[in-house]
């Protein structure tokens, strides 16, 4: 339990970090939109396009400026752009320090537990359409059905109350997993400004999932656009607040926070690709690593 | 008569031996799993007591953590595993320095986090054999007040036939903490041209800042 508690840091931390940064990005987009007159205010579709274009534009700029390191100079063979990635990681950590961390600290202090739980439920609910679509694309029809049912039932409360908490839960499926199921190569590890660590495959998937938000799909009008605009920044704050100490421990107490975050990302991603629920036991690389260690 | 029956008797003896072995293997595996389960339960209780205790100083708190590591964890195995393949390349002096500093950092950080574990309960839910020498004990860590979400935590326990079981790793939501530590340490060494001393320097700095 000691080591468990100690490293809970790692776990809870950067798992959802892209969400934090996506939230920041959306917040910035919305902030800029507020300075435009209501009549000329861009629709959310435009904002989405802008967000995507900004992400990919930013990535293109970043990646064009970095050269691939020789394998023997990398700290991980999957990370050919490590030097650039580390610089971007430092920027992301600064963004966390100056924006997300203080806001999340205030939120967890002020907001009652029930409100925090409702927001957390809503964040999970918003991801269900993506799970339904991607499960279908991968031929996992039972999971797709579960996602649709959970989405429909919890939709009665806009996902704020989990009415299906006692039922079988759908496993998260994103477009990155769909690409993996189609044998698309994983690609290099890339630390994206404000979006955190990804592989090129998962980043592509993330862009697709981004437009599968229920309010985006339903084109829910002015109110829907406003709600959707607020969703990601709120989600970012919610996740950061939930795992506040754990994230700070990784951020401030790791020997090499970048390497730790990268390791956690790959392990978490592997669990998702294997459709493992948290704590679900399966045979895997970890077993091989420990078995060979004990056979030495 | 005996000579004619000899092949049959050998076959019967082989069959009996085979049956005995096949019956004893699961029994042995079961006892290993029981030992692993018991170790984790006992450790969880001991940690709960240690967390709830009052300490007069930080040193006393660190000493309590150190005692728990001695009693329930395979610290030598954890240390060697965490250094990855560079352990074999390190000199004796480097190994000694790394072992000392790694332990200091580990206990220091764990002691600092004691308060975060206060009030949490851990319940073992499952245990499976992982090869001939390891078992994975899974359970759930719960906050009775409900202010924190449940966390699934699994413990990898070495179960040698000639010694007591000890914990070597913890996995939280499918993420191995020891493999994460190993990859972090290996990254530091590789970024510094394969020098083990670079890892020791960083540990020294971290230990001073604790």
Distances (CA, A) of B8 to A24, B2, B19, B21: 79, 10, 16, 20
Positions of chain A with pLDDT lower than 50, given as ranges: 1-48, 50-52, 54-55, 58
A42: distance to nearest CA of chain B, Å?
A: 39
Chain A positions in Cβ-Cβ contact with residue B186 (cut-off 8 Å): 75
**pLDDT tens per residue, range B20-59:** 444 444 556 678 899 999 999 999 999 999 998 988 888 8
Distances (CA, A) of B74 to A148, A200, A281, B164, B195: 46, 38, 22, 10, 26
As a CATH number, domain B2-209 is 3.10.450.710
Chain B positions in Cβ-Cβ contact with residue A281 (cut-off 8 Å): 126, 128, 136, 138, 154
B55: distance to nearest CA of chain A, Å?
A: 17
Q: Would you call B186 and A75 a contact, using CB atoms and an 8 Å cutoff? A: yes
pLDDT confidence of residue A54: 45
CB atoms within 10 A of CB A199: 21
**pLDDT tens per residue, range A280-294:** 656 666 788 888 888
Q: Would you call A1 and B183 a contact, using CB atoms and an 8 Å cutoff? A: no
Q: Would you call A255 and B199 a contact, using CB atoms and an 8 Å cutoff? A: yes
Are the C-beta atoms of B139 and B153 separated by less than 8 Å? yes
Which H or E run includes B138?
strand B134-142
Q: Would you call A291 and B131 a contact, using CB atoms and an 8 Å cutoff? A: yes
Handedness of CA A125, A127, A130, A131 (dihedral sign): negative
> Is the whole-model pTM more than 0.80?
no
Residue A291 forms contact with B (CB below 8 Å) = yes
pLDDT confidence of residue A93: 93
Percent pLDDT > 70 in chain A is: 68
Residue-averaged pLDDT of chain B: 86
CB atoms within 10 A of CB B202: 18
Rounded Cα distance, B207 and B69, in Å: 18
Look at residues B110, B133, B152, B180 and name the one whose alpha carbon lies nearest to residue B36.
Answer: B133
A44: distance to nearest CA of chain B, Å?
A: 33
pLDDT confidence of residue A48: 43
Rounded Cα distance, B62 and B57, in Å: 9
User: What are the structure tokens assigned to A195, written together?
Assistant: 């979006």
β-sheet bridge partners, residue A76: none
Tell me which residue in A12, A259, A276 faces B187 most closely, judged by beta carbons. Answer: A259
Higher-pLDDT residue of A80 and B17 is: A80
pLDDT band of residue B11 (cuts 50, 70, 90) is low
Three-state DSSP string of B71-133: HHECHHHHHHHHCCCHHHHCCHHHHHHHHHHHHHHHHHHHHHCHHHHCCCEEEEEEEEEECCC
ipTM of the modeled complex: 0.81
pLDDT confidence of residue A281: 59
CB atoms within 10 A of CB B91: 10
Chain B positions in Cβ-Cβ contact with residue A278 (cut-off 8 Å): 152, 173-174
pLDDT confidence of residue B20: 47
Higher-pLDDT residue of B130 and A46 is: B130
HSE-up of residue A265 (Cα within 13 Å, Cβ side): 26
User: What are the structure tokens assigned to A109, written together?
Assistant: 């202090």
Q: What are the structural domain ranges in chain B?
A: 2-209
Q: Would you call B128 and A259 a contact, using CB atoms and an 8 Å cutoff? A: no
**pLDDT tens per residue, range B92-121:** 999 999 999 999 999 998 888 888 888 899
């Amino acid at each position: 339990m000691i080591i468990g508690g100690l490293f809970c840091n790692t776990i809870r931390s950067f798992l959802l970090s892209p969400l934090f940064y996506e939230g920041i990005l959306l917040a910035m987009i919305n902030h800029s939109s507020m300075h435009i007159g209501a009549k000329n205010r861009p629709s959310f579709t435009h904002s989405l396009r802008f967000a995507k274009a900004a992400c990919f534009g930013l990535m293109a700029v970043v990646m064009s400026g970095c050269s691939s390191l020789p394998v023997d100079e990398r700290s991980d063979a999957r990370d050919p752009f490590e030097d650039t990635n580390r610089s971007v990681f430092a920027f992301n950590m600064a963004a966390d320090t100056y924006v997300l961390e203080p806001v999340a600290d205030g939120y967890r202090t002020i907001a009652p537990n029930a409100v925090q739980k409702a927001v957390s439920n809503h964040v999970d609910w918003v991801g269900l359409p993506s799970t339904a679509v991607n499960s279908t694309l991968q031929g996992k029809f039972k999971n797709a059905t579960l996602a649709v049912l959970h989405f429909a039932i919890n939709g009665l409360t806009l996902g704020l109350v989990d009415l299906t908490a006692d039922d079988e839960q759908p496993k998260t499926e994103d477009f990155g997993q769909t690409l993996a199921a189609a044998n698309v190569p994983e690609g290099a590890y890339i630390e994206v400004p404000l979006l955190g660590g990804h592989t090129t495959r998962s980043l592509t998937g993330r862009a697709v999932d981004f437009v599968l938000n229920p309010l985006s799909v339903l084109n829910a009008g002015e109110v829907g656009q406003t709600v959707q605009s607020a969703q990601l920044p709120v989600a970012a704050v919610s996740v950061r607040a939930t795992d506040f100490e754990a994230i700070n421990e990784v951020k401030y107490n790791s020997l090499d926070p970048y390497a730790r975050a990268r390791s956690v990302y790959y392990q978490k991603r592997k669990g998702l690709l294997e459709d493992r629920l948290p704590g679900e036991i399966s045979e895997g690389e970890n077993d091989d690593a420990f078995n060979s260690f004990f056979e030495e | 008569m005996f000579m004619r029956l000899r092949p049959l008797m050998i076959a019967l003896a082989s069959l009996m031996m085979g049956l005995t072995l096949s019956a004893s293997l699961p029994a042995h595996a079961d006892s290993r799993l029981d030992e692993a389960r018991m170790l984790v339960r006992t450790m969880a209780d001991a940690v709960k007591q240690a967390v709830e205790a009052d300490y007069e100083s930080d040193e006393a708190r660190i000493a309590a953590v150190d005692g728990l590591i001695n009693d329930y964890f395979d610290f030598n195995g954890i240390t060697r595993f965490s250094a990855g393949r560079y352990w074999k390349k390190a000199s004796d002096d480097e190994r000694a320095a790394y072992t000392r500093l790694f332990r200091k950092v580990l206990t220091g950080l764990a002691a600092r986090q004691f308060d975060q574990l206060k009030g949490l309960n851990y319940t073992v839910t499952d245990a499976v054999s992982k090869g001939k020498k390891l078992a994975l004990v899974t359970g759930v860590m719960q906050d009775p007040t409900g202010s924190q979400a449940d966390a699934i935590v699994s413990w990898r326990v070495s179960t040698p036939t000639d010694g007591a079981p000890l914990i070597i790793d913890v996995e939280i939501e499918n993420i191995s903490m020891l493999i994460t530590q190993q990859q972090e340490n290996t990254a530091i060494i590789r970024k510094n041209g394969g020098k083990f001393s670079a890892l020791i320097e960083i540990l020294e700095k971290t230990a001073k800042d604790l």
